[in-house]
Amino acid sequence: MKILVTGTAGFIGFHLAKRLIERGDEVIGLDCINDYYDINLKYSRLELTGINRKEIVDGQITQSTKYPNYKFIKLKLEDREPVLELFRNKKFDKVCNLAAQAGVRYSIENPFVYIDSNIVGFLNILEGCRSSGVKHLAYASSSSVYGLNETMPFSTHHNVDHPISLYAASKKSNELMAHTYSYLYNLPTTGLRFFTVYGPWGRPDMALFLFTKAILEGKPIDVFNNGNMQRDFTYVDDIVEGIVKVIDNPPTSNNEWTGKSPEPSSSVAPYKLFNIGNSNPVKLLNFIEIIEDLLGRKAIKNFLPLQDGDVPATWADVEDLEKILNYKPKTSTKVGVKRFIDWYLNYNA
C-alpha cells in the first residue's frame, strides 16, 4: 500500500514508519520538526530510516538512502495548500496521522499552538483524505480524553465530555471531526487512544526519560500527586503493532447502532475508536523502583501536588481491541523499561 504517516520524526511515528517500510509498504513520512523538544533527537530518528538531515528542504520530498520505498517531506499540517497538494499528487491508499502538538502541561501555557496543529492541521488531513479517495484514516487520539471520568478501566463505550486540558479537548475534537467526515463522505476513520507510551527513542518530556536522566545525574525527580499516581504504561512496539492491525482493518458501519441509545465508539458511519494500552496500571512509585533497580541507583524524590490538567490514574479497557482485532499489548513494564534504559545508555554514551 501507499501510506502517508505524519509525525515520522516523532517517537511513535518513527517506529511506525520503520515497521511499515520493512514490511514492504510504500511510505511517505511527514513532520515539521518543531523545537518542542531537542530536534537532534528527531533528526537522529530520521537518519535511522535513511533520511539525511542535510538533504531536508522545507516542502520538498527527500528520498531515503536506506529504503527505496521510503520518502520524507518537511511540512506543517496547518499549511493547507501544500498539504492538499501532497494528497493530490501522491494518491495515498491509507493515512496514519500521528503528528500533533503533544503535552498536557504545555497546552496550558501555549494554547494557540494546539489549535493550529491539532485542529486546523487535522482538518487539512481530513480534507486531503476526502478529496483524494483515501480508503482509511487512522489517527492518534489520547487517553487524556477521559478527563474527569473516574469509571475504571477507561472504556471507549464511555462518554468523554469532560476533558481537563486543551490537549485533551483537541484530541476529543479530532474524534468528533473524524466522525463527521465518516458520516458525510463515507471516509473510514479509526481513532486510537494511546495510554502513556514509552520505549527506546522516547520523548524527553515524558516521565521515563526525565527520571532516567535525573537519576543518572544525581538530580531530584518531581513526583506529582505525592506519588499517588497510576499510569497504564504501554511499550511502543505494542502500540505500533496495534496501529498496523488497525490500518489493515478499516471500520465499517455498525448495523446495530441506534441514535436512540448512541454507542460512543462506533456509528452508522464507518467510524471506530480503540484504546491501545497495556491494561495493567502501575503505581508511579513502583515505576520509579523499577528504574532504580535497573540503574542501580536511588532517586532523589521531590514530592509535589497533582498538576493542572493531569489525572490521578489511567487504565485501558482493551476488550474491543481483543474482540475485533484479536490483539492485546503484552510487554511487561520491567522488560520495556530495561529496553529503554539500554537504548538511553547507548544513545548518550
Per-residue pLDDT of the chain (349 residues; tens, 9 = 90+): 999 999 999 999 999 999 999 999 999 999 999 999 999 999 999 999 999 999 999 999 999 999 999 999 999 999 999 999 999 999 999 999 999 988 888 888 889 999 999 999 999 999 999 999 999 999 999 999 999 999 999 999 999 999 999 999 999 999 999 999 999 999 999 999 999 999 999 999 999 999 999 999 999 999 999 889 999 999 999 999 999 999 999 999 999 999 999 999 999 999 999 999 999 999 999 999 999 999 999 999 999 999 888 889 999 999 999 999 999 999 999 999 999 999 999 999 8
pLDDT for res 108: 85
Beta strands in the chain (DSSP E): 2-6, 26-31, 61-63, 70-74, 94-97, 136-142, 189-194, 197-198, 220-223, 230-231, 234-235, 271-276, 282-283, 300-303
pLDDT for res 102: 87
Q: How far is it, in rounded angstroms, from Cα 305 to Cα 193? A: 26
Residues 6+ apart with CB under 8 A from 193: 141, 142, 143, 145, 154, 156, 273, 274, 275, 276, 277, 316
pLDDT for res 104: 81
| Active site positions, annotated | 167
**Within 10 Å of residue 208's Cβ, how many Cβ atoms?**
24
Residues 6+ apart with CB under 8 A from 3: 20, 25, 26, 27, 28, 92, 93, 94, 95, 96, 247
Termini Cα distance of the chain = 38
pTM: 0.96
pLDDT for res 322: 97
pLDDT for res 134: 98
